[in-house]
């Protein structure tokens, strides 16, 4: 899950907000948008999810720092040792002892109980991976650890305590509905305790009834030659497992290519700059130029100007869109002017000027 919108805006706080500010903002908004207060309102429900997600990230110093630096946060991007917790839509990490507003704990317990008891597809996960420039053009097999939610090993994903028996829900008398009265109005709502199924189970003690537990897992992917920053590769079924044996989500691997001191990639083309002496540029020469395949010999024609681009066809990065094809390499010439100090060199330059009296500014006005 990637946070496309600004989490600070979602929580209506500024970027310097303290942890207490964040908690206060979350409590205020959670009370306003909680599904129980807005039954059947999809917009409020969506908003509540986003608020909760924003809170989850900004209330955790490590995740907040990652978000501030990268502009997004997704499950699995931090090292496994830092994220050995429950992921996704949960309230972990919230310290109730600091919470003086007692009605907030009602929100919490309701959110737990109202989870539907039917299969749901698991969340997609995103994992950011950094590779070198060389690796991005050659491709490479990447192995890394992720933390994902998987079916609970104790209850097999059912959420039911092994050996316990299912019974009829006491709150709704097994109907799955509850009749509420507000003034003269009477309306029927889905029973929050059983999620409308009319049945209650004894929640599995290991996964708390959710059927999922977090687990570290090693995954492997072949990064094809030509991957670039922001390339997004999918590993099907390696997102979070689905609730109650619903299908698993997918894992998306997002590539970031480290900068190279010499090469710069733009599309499938590779750009670089190479210095030339005035003499080399004026008389022409042959020089060696680094390419991603090694050194190549390039002919510099006489009269080459500063800033001129030389194109080396087919020496760019492999194309992901057109397999088998490669971009070009562009070499920008940087003419280095000598700093002459001795009289003899100055004399030669003056003679050179006399022999070549052209005015480079003649066309300017």
| DSSP states of 182-197 | ETTEEEEEE-TTTTTS
Binding window for Zn ion (CB under 5 A); candidates: 94-102, 147-155, 217-225, 273-281:
147-155
Q: Tokens 């920053």 map to which residue? A: 229
DSSP assignment letter at 240: P
Name which of residues 30 to 89 contact Zn ion (CB under 5 A): none
269 binds Zn ion (CB under 5 A): no
Binding window for Zn ion (CB under 5 A); candidates: 71-79, 184-192, 287-295, 333-341:
184-192
Q: Least Å distance between CB 176 and Zn ion?
A: 6
Binding window for Zn ion (CB under 5 A); candidates: 90-98, 111-119, 144-152, 296-304:
144-152
Of 192 and 226, which CB lies nearer to Zn ion in the complex structure?
Answer: 192
Q: Least Å distance between CB 170 and Zn ion?
A: 8
Residue 331: closest CA among 276, 260, 283, 267: 276
Q: In the structure encoding, which two tokens stand for residue 230, read together? A: 């922001």
Residue 264: closest CA among 231, 296, 290: 290
248 binds Zn ion (CB under 5 A): no
Residues that contact Zn ion, how many (by CB under 5 A): 12
Report d(CA 93, CA 137) in Å as an integer.
42
152 binds Zn ion (CB under 5 A): yes
Angstrom CA distances, 197 to 35, 116, 145, 160, 244, stand at: 18, 9, 37, 14, 14
Of 211 and 239, which CB lies nearer to Zn ion in the complex structure?
Answer: 211
Name which of residues 189 to 228 contact Zn ion (CB under 5 A): 191, 193-194, 204, 206-207
β-pairing verdict for 294-300 and 232-235? unpaired
Question: Radius of gyration over alpha carbons of the chain, in Å?
Answer: 32
Of 10 and 191, which CB lies nearer to Zn ion in the complex structure?
Answer: 191
Q: Least Å distance between CB 248 and Zn ion?
A: 16
Q: Tokens 């599904």 map to which residue? A: 35
The residue ranges that bind Zn ion (CB under 5 A) are 152, 154-155, 169, 171-172, 191, 193-194, 204, 206-207
């Amino acid at each position: 899950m990637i946070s496309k919108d600004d989490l600070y805006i979602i929580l209506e706080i500024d970027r310097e907000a303290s942890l207490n500010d964040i908690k206060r903002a979350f409590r205020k908004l959670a009370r306003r948008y909680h599904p129980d207060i807005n039954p059947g309102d999809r917009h409020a429900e969506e908003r509540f999810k986003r608020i909760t997600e924003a809170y989850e990230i900004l209330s955790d110093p490590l995740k907040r720092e990652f978000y501030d630096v990268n502009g997004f946060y997704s499950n699995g991007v931090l090292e496994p040792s830092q994220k050995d917790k429950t992921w996704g839509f949960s309230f972990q990490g919230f310290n109730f002892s600091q919470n003086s507003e007692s009605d907030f704990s009602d929100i919490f317990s309701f959110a737990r109980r109202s989870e539907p008891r039917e299969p749901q597809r698991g969340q997609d996960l995103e994992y950011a991976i950094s590779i070198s420039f060389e690796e991005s053009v050659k491709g490479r097999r990447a192995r890394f650890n992720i933390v994902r939610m998987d079916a609970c090993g104790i209850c097999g994903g059912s959420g039911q305590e092994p050996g316990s028996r299912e019974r009829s829900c006491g709150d709704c008398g097994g109907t799955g509905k509850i009749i509420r009265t507000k003034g003269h109005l009477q309306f029927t709502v889905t029973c929050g305790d059983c999620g409308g199924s009319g049945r209650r189970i004894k929640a599995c003690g290991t996964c708390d009834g959710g059927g999922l537990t977090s687990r570290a897992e090693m995954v492997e992917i072949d990064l094809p030659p030509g991957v670039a920053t922001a390339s997004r590769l999918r590993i099907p079924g390696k997102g979070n497992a689905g609730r109650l044996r619903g299908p698993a989500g997918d894992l998306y691997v997002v590539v970031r290519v480290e900068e190279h001191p010499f090469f710069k990639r733009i599309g499938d083309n590779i750009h670089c700059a190479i210095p030339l002496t005035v003499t080399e540029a004026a008389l022409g020469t042959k020089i060696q130029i680094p390419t991603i395949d090694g050194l190549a010999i390039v002919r510099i024609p006489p009269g080459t100007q500063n800033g001129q681009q030389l194109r080396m066809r087919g020496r760019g990065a492999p194309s992901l869109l057109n397999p088998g094809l490669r971009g070009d390499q562009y070499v920008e010439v940087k003419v280095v002017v000598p700093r002459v100090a001795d009289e003899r060199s100055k004399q030669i330059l003056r003679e050179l000027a006399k022999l070549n009296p052209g005015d480079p500014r003649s066309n300017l006005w």
